Amino acid sequence: MNGDWLIRGRDGRLSVYLPTDDAVLCRAELGPGGPWEPPRKVGGEQKLRPGPAVGQGADDYAHLAAWRPTKAGEAGLVHSTHFRPRLAALDWISIGHPDSAGDRTGTPAVTVDAQGRAHVFVRNKAGGVSMRGQKEVGGWGPWRDLKGREVDDRLAAVTGECGLVELYAAVPGAVLHWRQEKPGSVPVLEEAMQTPVRPGTLHALATSAERTTLFYADDSGDLCAWRPGTKPVTLLASAGPGPVSAIRCELDGHDCTLLAQRSASGRVAFAAYPTEQESAGAWWTESGPQLPADAVVALALDEDERVVAATLSPSTGQLLVTRRKDEAGLALEAWRAV
């Protein structure tokens, strides 16, 4: 999944979204910290192409986007809304193709503005970015060409605390940043920050009332943090080659940013530091068993605002979950299989 695939729903229950070759599955807690329900298909029986995306709004509704085959050699994007984890999601509806017609062009990204409107971004045939957003009164606006070129397949969409939608994309030797100027407007390209960036490593997080922070790995393998309008900061060496997950949480009374990544040793590595204070430093601490090479990590907060971490291995289907203990620091419970 492109996006935070472990989320807390409107009813306080945690859920995970699990992609398969032709569908998206959802599993949800039956009770706080309790057993989980069996996997259920999201959006009906339509066949999907690999590489779906998920985003969540302030109303805690989940929005999903994916490609589905339409005819030989062609595909179109579809969207579904999931209001509560233990309810069925809405059926997939077509939102078309950024180039009117054609095959899959890239992995979609989804974020949701303060008014609850989903915005779907995807690379287009020309190598730039296109976006389609929901209207406030229902339905969808037209596809918009946001420009750019040689954009990497995996985009990072995020909504700031102010409710404005932003997008980050990697291009050769740089990161591009788009932002809305006001609610409901089309995001505009604001900055191209020159940096060696490793494709597929972008993760964006709202970190203050006016700013978002982008985490990415550079060519040397260092994990960097960048807020538009400033220079990027090297935070620490990446724990492993895969993507990083990030969340804001309270640790011992402090507003912190918590990072998690599958380490080179195969375990989950965690690092925390005061939010937007990268100069304070951070270091990795490993936890849990060794994981398959394809395992990915996600972070969320449960209804008691406790940190929850999950790992998923697509090749084995193994899903592991842990929670923060009710004590100082970042002590975690034993990892358990769901």
pTM, two decimals, is 0.96
Residue 33: predicted pLDDT = 78
- Reported as a pLDDT band with limits 50, 70 and 90, residue 315 is confident
Alpha-carbon distance of 126 to 169, in angstroms, equals 15
| HEC sequence for 183-227 | CCCCCEEEEEEECCECCCCCEEEECCCCCEEEEEEECCCEEEEEC
C-beta separation of 169 from 175 below 8 A = yes
Alpha-carbon distance of 263 to 215, in angstroms, equals 16
Q: What percent of the chain has pLDDT over 70?
A: 100
Q: What is the mean pLDDT of residues 5-19?
A: 94
| 123 vs 85: which has the higher pLDDT | 123
Alpha-carbon distance of 325 to 331, in angstroms, equals 6
Residue 137, classified by CB atoms within 10 Å of its CB into exposed (0-12), middle (13-18) or buried (19+), is exposed
Residue 208: predicted pLDDT = 94
Residue 302: predicted pLDDT = 94
- Reported as a pLDDT band with limits 50, 70 and 90, residue 276 is very high
Summary mean pLDDT of the chain: 95
Residue 136: predicted pLDDT = 86
CATH class of 6-337: mainly beta
Q: Tell me, what amino acid is at 304?
A: D
Q: What is the mean pLDDT of residues 135-147?
A: 94
For 198, the token pair is 């490793």
Residue 162: predicted pLDDT = 94
Region label for 225, one of left (φ > 0), alpha (ψ between -120 and 50) or beta (otherwise):
beta
Q: What percent of the chain has pLDDT over 90?
A: 90
Residue 161: predicted pLDDT = 95
- Reported as a pLDDT band with limits 50, 70 and 90, residue 31 is confident
